[in-house]
Amino acid sequence: MVPKRSHLLLAGLLLFLIGVQFRMVESFTLSEKSSRLLAAQLGAGQAPSQQALWGTPPARRTIQPPAWIGLALMSVGSVITLKSLSLKD
């Protein structure tokens, strides 16, 4: 499948806007469900059965993305957007 001009334009704009979002936000706080999923995937913390046994509420995790990731996404998004504008229909 050959990517069309509109597909590349959409992908480039989405990547650029996601990069802007990462630059504007300092940290993300996950919900309890996603915190448990992350802990299960990484193998960190207590098992979910132990948490339910003792009745302690699961801790919400806070993720702080590195500063460079927003700039990288904005750069890639702008290059893809400019490339899509140079393609023929």
| Per-residue pLDDT tens listing for the chain (89 residues) | 777 899 999 999 999 999 999 999 999 898 888 888 888 888 755 555 555 555 555 678 888 999 899 999 999 999 999 999 998 87
Residue 80 maps to a domain: yes
pLDDT at 44: 59
Q: What is the pTM of this model?
A: 0.70
Q: How far is CA 81 from CA 9, 39, 67, 75, 88, in A?
A: 5, 37, 22, 10, 13
Contact 61, 32 (CB under 8 A): no
Domain count, the chain: 1
- DSSP for 23-60, please give it: HH-S-EE--HHHHHHHHHHHT-S--HHHHHHHTPPPPP
pLDDT at 71: 96
Give the span between the Cα atoms of 50 and 4, in whole angstroms. 51
Residue 45 maps to a domain: no
Residue 41 maps to a domain: no
pLDDT at 12: 96
Residue 83 maps to a domain: yes
Residue with tokens 């904005």: 74
